[in-house]
A and B are shown apart, each in its own frame.
Chain A
Amino acid sequence: MTAASPPEVLRAPLVVEFPFTRSLGPVQSAFLTGLREGVVLGVKTSDGKVMVPPVEYDPVTAEEIRELVEVAATGTVTTWAWNDRPRPQQPLDTPFAWVLVKLDGADTALLHALDAPGPDAVRTGMRVRVRWAAERTGAITDIACFEPYDGPAGGAAVPHDGSFAGAVTGIVAEARLDYVYSPGRAQTAYIEALSERRTVGERCPSCHKVYVPPRGACPTCGVATTDRVEVGPAGTVTTFCIVNIKAKNLDIEVPYVYAHIALDGAGLALHGRIGGIPYDQVRMGLRVEPVWTEGGRYPDHYRPTGEPDADYDAYKELI
């Protein structure tokens, strides 16, 4: 047993990507399809206000609103902010202004980007128009951005039935976030020991249970686990299941056995695959040891040691 020493902090890139598929209601469908067709639609509330972008329920009365109207592609900036350093996924890759724009015929403002030569060329009240994207798919990005405009203003909103051929009924909301992951003190020690083909846990100073893998805290006592303890390498199968479904991208023949394995000296079981024995001969109490593959960063699987089975009383608390 050794006291935990300050670790070299492990760090690794972690990318989270998710393409949420979202369906559109009648109002959002009409609005986004309209953008694809170069038409900006809003909705009219019962008190005659025109909302662009449109919402399906009146934010004041919560009444359902469905009365679509067409507004102009020209409008007025209601507030703005100059963005000198565009971030990767923003609408323009040159410096631009974020703007809220009240389109002619609308009573509310739409958030988007304004392409302008610099902050001195932007002010609240300035006139702008939509610059359409070259390729449009039925998304808010069909508006590439706004641009300064000094032509005539558009008129009042006019009724629109909101129907277009090939209406867009859903969007895919793509997102990617980049992180640098650090596992913390306890798990760093665990991962570093694995690189030497050793398994270390941490003992709770209060209840003396040894946690593998350690997360730095005893969930029973709510205190830090600090004493590092080497466990295994051999252990005992405490329970298991037979897997009959082949996992995607996993090159393992079915059926195979996935088991809880209590490594010698550990206070709880971890899980791993059992190999080197026919699946229907795996049993509770089977003594196993890890098998490492060349370059593997954790045991590939566990195989029988050939020792006699462990007595039930020796592992029953760990099931």
Chain B
Amino acid sequence: MARYAREVAVVAFAQSDHLRRTDELSEVEMVMPVLHQVLAATGLKAGEIGFTCSGSSDYLAGRAFSFTMTLDGVGAWPPISESHVEMDGAWALYEAWVKIQTGEADTALVYAYGKSSPGSVRDVLTRQLDPYYVAPLWPDAVALAALQAQALIDAGETEESALAAVGARSRDAATANPHAQLRGPVPQGDYQVRPLRTGDCPPVGDGVAAVVLAAGDLARRLCERPAWITGIDHRIEAHSLGLRDLTDSPSTRLAAERAGVFEAPVDTAELHAPFSSQEIVLRKALGLTDEVSVNPSGGALAANPMMAAGLIRIGEAAARIHRGASRRAVAHATSGPCLQQNLVAVLEGDAR
């Protein structure tokens, strides 16, 4: 606990059902029920929250400044202290955690959402690539992940049957997750971009997640078994794919080291691995053994609402601690092509 100035815990987590499309809902209509649910779990009212931070991307729905609209769902009048990151909500959680560490807030509401259904997310994500050398070629997200998967296969670190097993295990685990988009046996399917088949790729869908953070004794009052964030760190690698060893994730490993992952065993890992091949890379970077329960929620292969799926990993790990199913968990979030940016958090319950 001495790593940081203040003890901070995830005290509540809520998420929507993740669906292929939600045409009948505007973004704020989609977000609001989840905000109500997460606040209700703590008994806090929106006006009592010290800091609010969200993660989303305008490019998904093709709407400029869409996050300002979803603030209507928070109740932003009278004025609140608020911020936004144009990326996964896990990074919004990091910003909120820093805000609490500085003493400027004791509680934070963090939420994230992605409405991918209006556009083609494969094409949309090409716009985050280097605009000079890469984006003009329009390599889509599946293509880039497939290059990484082939590199792993060439290196002898996996094979197509092992990738299929990752997908099958994830969707099997998701049968116990009522929010997941894909549950139970899903055909491995045809190649999307070889060597990745449909079953190796995440579903495209719309969804929302929200988390409440609280500091110290307040966290103990709001939650019977707080999920203490005993370590959190995020790291980035060179943007050029041709500079990186795609079979490894040094940024994940470094973030994990700084977050203290390797100081004691973990029993649970919630990994943001939208492609089956990325789980292979992350397991290696985090040194996970077979004793660790990996993605008991089903992970991103069962539901991958863009910009929320990383925050959901933190939320799922925390929820497992809340209900006593985990003592020490690692949660991971990623952003960018082929695991370019990685955030790692350690969550722990009080010993009992």
Contact = CB atoms under 8 A, between A and B. Distances in A.
B283 interface: no
Given A79-B246, A111-B133, A186 B139 contact: no
A72 B36 CA distance: 60
A83 interface: yes
Interface string B52-71: 00000001011000000101
Contacts of B46: 222
A6 B24 contact: yes
A35 B150 CA distance: 28
Interface stretch (A176-184, A242-250, A254-262, A275-283): A176-184
A84 B24 contact: no
A128 to B, nearest CB: 14
B35 interface: yes
B243 A51 contact: yes
A139 B74 contact: no
A304 B144 CA distance: 61
B131 A80 contact: no
A96 to B, nearest CB: 10
Given A119-B194, A124-B154, A139-B136, A219 B76 contact: yes
A215 B26 contact: yes
A312 interface: no
Interface residues of B, number: 59
Interface in A168-199: 171, 173, 175, 177-188
A180 B25 CA distance: 13
B265 interface: no
B75 interface: yes
Interface string A86-101: 0111110000001010
Contacts of B149: 81
A28 B132 contact: yes
A180 B147 CA distance: 30
- Name B's interface SS: helix
A215 B193 contact: no
Nearest to B149: A81
A140 B76 contact: no
Contact of B147 (A79, A87, A88, A215): A79
Contacts of B243: 51, 55, 59, 108
B205 interface: no
Contacts of B144: 98
B258 interface: no
B24 A9 contact: yes
B139 A222 contact: no
A110 interface: yes
Interface in A1-51: 6-7, 9, 11, 14, 16, 20, 22, 24, 28, 32, 51
Interface stretch (B93-101, B120-128, B301-309): B120-128
Nearest to B129: A111
A55 B244 CA distance: 14
Interface of A: 6-7, 9, 11, 14, 16, 20, 22, 24, 28, 32, 51-53, 55, 59, 78-84, 87-91, 98, 100, 102, 108-113, 119, 124, 139-141, 171, 173, 175, 177-188, 215-224
- Which 10 pairs show the lowest CB-CB distances between chains A and B? A222-B75, A184-B26, A109-B242, A81-B146, A82-B194, A219-B72, A179-B62, A217-B72, A59-B238, A182-B23
Interface of B: 23-29, 32, 35-36, 46, 59, 61-62, 69, 71-77, 118-120, 122-124, 127, 131-140, 143-144, 146-151, 154, 191, 193-196, 238, 240-243, 246
20 contacts: A11-B23, A32-B132, A55-B240, A82-B191, A83-B143, A98-B144, A109-B241, A111-B242, A113-B137, A119-B194, A124-B150, A140-B137, A179-B119, A180-B119, A184-B26, A184-B29, A185-B24, A215-B26, A217-B29, A223-B75
